[in-house]
């Protein structure tokens, strides 16, 4: 009898411990034109992931330039519109980032994004005249805001594609905190957020994709409660009949796809929205511009730059966190 009782106790104890063990849940969705993966560990992991997916879908409905019912489409219709506080705030931040990055990140580049059509089934190589006709429509000065009231100058339009996923990752980070997620990560296209730690207490290992062999990693970086956002020509491009490759990030100063000496830029910091805006901007700036920008703002972010000539530059904040394959495709060099 005693034996049976202690056996029963043992079984109950095992069951209750199993019940308390934090659950690991994963979720994959397709939103904002990309595959998104998420993993969360915690007693409310499933709820956290489902709330995150809902939030991402809500933001896509609000911010997509291709959804007719979005606030961005309402702004792009050319009428004066009243938008939500959230959209107004994000627009204000976008304008600030445009000013900070010397206009290399600029949401008003939309007319050129659309005309090149690199996201579409029918991309087009624009002539110099076509570019010249659209370039005057680019510039934050065309976006007029008075609180939540927004007006664009005639013919102008905006694209939040270079910042919306970063903003979504900030919102997901907040949801993970709200649901007491112990550890986890999300990868929204090139936008990663690493939350807490793995169950062994170590940081999450985030792969920086090899831009020349996208199935592999150029480096791994250990992150906890940080964002790592990558921009690169390899993420979206088309090859014209003459073999020229046109990638999706437009240089707002030329109106053409940026010709960068960088293959990819990864910005690492505690703010997903800023990381997203900066990674796009630094890709346009190229190696020298990106280095100079980081030197001015080194307190705000770390970065990894992968160059056309196979060098992987990283900033001192990543020392001890970054692993680059010795003898691999890239020579790692510390920036100072
Ligand atoms: P990302 O992948 O974050 O670098 O964003 C690139 C996307 O943002 C493109 O696919 C365009 O939709 C849009 N875009 C292209 N060039 C720029 C730019 N210079 N500034 C802001 N958005 C841009
Ligand atoms: Mg971006």
Pairing of strands 302-307, 311-314: antiparallel
Per-residue pLDDT, 12: 42
CA 168 vs CA 70, 129, 187, 272: distances in Å: 16, 37, 11, 8
Out of 162, 246, 258, 277, mutate this one to test ligand 1's pocket (max ligand atoms within 8 Å of CB): namely 162
pLDDT tens per residue across span 194-203:
999 999 999 9
CA 10 vs CA 6, 69, 263, 312: distances in Å: 6, 58, 57, 54
Quick one: angle between helices 164-178 and 45-63, nearest 10?
Answer: 150
Q: Is the pLDDT of residue 9 over 70?
A: no
Whether 249 is in the pocket of ligand 1, judged by its Cβ within 6 Å, is yes
Whether 167 is in the pocket of ligand 1, judged by its Cβ within 6 Å, is no
pLDDT tens per residue across span 305-323:
999 999 999 999 999 999 9
Q: Is the pLDDT of residue 17 over 60?
A: no
User: Can you tell me which atom of ligand 1 is nearest the CA of 98?
Assistant: 20
> For domain 71-152, which CATH number applies: 1.10.3980.10, 1.10.10.60, 2.60.120.10, 2.70.150.10?
1.10.3980.10
Q: Is the pLDDT of residue 4 over 70?
A: no
Question: What confidence category does residue 14 fall into, taking pLDDT thresholds of 50, 70 and 90?
Answer: very low
User: Can you tell me which atom of ligand 1 is nearest the CA of 248?
Assistant: 10
User: Can you tell me which atom of ligand 1 is nearest the CA of 280?
Assistant: 4
Per-residue pLDDT, 327: 81
Per-residue pLDDT, 326: 82
pLDDT tens per residue across span 256-290:
999 999 999 999 999 999 999 999 999 999 999 99
Q: Is the pLDDT of residue 11 over 80?
A: no
CA–CA separation, 209 and 302 (whole Å): 17
CA–CA separation, 124 and 115 (whole Å): 7
pLDDT tens per residue across span 124-135:
999 999 999 999
CA 35 vs CA 1, 27, 31, 165: distances in Å: 57, 11, 7, 12
Structure tokens at 245: 């490759």
Listed residue (58, 232, 223) closest to 162, CA to CA:
232
CA–CA separation, 104 and 260 (whole Å): 12
Per-residue pLDDT, 5: 43
pTM, 2 dp:
0.93
Out of 250, 251, 267, 284, mutate this one to test ligand 1's pocket (max ligand atoms within 8 Å of CB): namely 250
> Which residue has a Cα nearest atom 1 of ligand 1?
162
Out of 91, 109, 168, 275, mutate this one to test ligand 1's pocket (max ligand atoms within 8 Å of CB): namely 109
Whether 109 is in the pocket of ligand 1, judged by its Cβ within 6 Å, is yes
Ligand 2 centroid – CA 158 distance (Å): 14
Residue 100: CB partners within 8 Å, gap ≥ 6?
297
Q: Where are the domains of the chain?
A: 71-152
Out of 113, 286, 303, mutate this one to test ligand 1's pocket (max ligand atoms within 8 Å of CB): namely 113
Half-sphere exposure of 9 (CA within 13 A, CB side): 6
Ligand 2 centroid – CA 238 distance (Å): 19
Q: Quote the mean pLDDT of the chain.
A: 93
> Which residue has a Cα nearest atom 5 of ligand 1?
162
CA–CA separation, 248 and 184 (whole Å): 30
> Which residue has a Cα nearest atom 8 of ligand 1?
162
Whether 231 is in the pocket of ligand 1, judged by its Cβ within 6 Å, is yes
């Amino acid at each position: 009898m005693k034996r049976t009782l202690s056996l029963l106790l043992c079984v109950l104890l095992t069951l209750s411990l199993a019940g308390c063990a934090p659950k690991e849940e994963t979720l994959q969705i397709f939103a904002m034109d990309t595959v998104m993966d998420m993993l969360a560990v915690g007693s409310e992991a499933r709820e956290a992931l489902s709330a995150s997916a809902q939030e991402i879908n809500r933001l896509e409905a609000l911010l997509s330039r291709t959804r007719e019912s979005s606030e961005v489409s309402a702004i792009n219709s050319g009428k004066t519109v009243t938008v939500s506080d959230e959209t107004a705030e994000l627009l204000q931040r976008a304008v600030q980032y445009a000013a900070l990055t010397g206009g290399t990140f600029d949401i008003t580049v939309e007319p050129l994004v659309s005309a090149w059509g690199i996201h579409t089934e029918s991309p087009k190589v624009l002539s110099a005249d076509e570019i010249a006709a659209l370039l005057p429509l680019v510039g934050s000065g065309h976006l007029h805001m008075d609180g939540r009231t927004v007006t664009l100058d005639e013919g102008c339009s905006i694209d939040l594609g270079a910042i919306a996923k970063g903003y979504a990752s900030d919102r997901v980070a907040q949801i993970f905190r709200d649901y007491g997620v112990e550890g986890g990560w999300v990868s929204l296209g090139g936008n990663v957020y690493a939350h807490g730690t793995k169950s062994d207490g170590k940081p999450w290992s985030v792969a920086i994709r090899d831009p020349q062999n996208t199935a592999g990693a150029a480096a791994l970086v250990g992150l906890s409660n940080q964002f790592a956002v990558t921009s690169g020509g390899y993420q979206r491009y088309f090859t014209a009949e003459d073999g020229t490759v046109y990638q999706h990030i437009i240089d707002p100063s030329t109106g053409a796809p940026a010709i960068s000496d960088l293959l990819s830029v990864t910005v690492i910091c505690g703010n997903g929205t800023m990381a997203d805006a900066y990674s796009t901007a630094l890709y346009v700036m190229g190696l020298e511009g990106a280095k100079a920008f980081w030197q001015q703002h080194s307190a705000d972010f770390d970065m990894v730059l992968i160059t056309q000539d196979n060098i992987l530059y990283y900033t001192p904040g990543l020392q001890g966190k970054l692993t680059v394959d010795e003898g691999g495709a890239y020579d790692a060099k510390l920036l100072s």
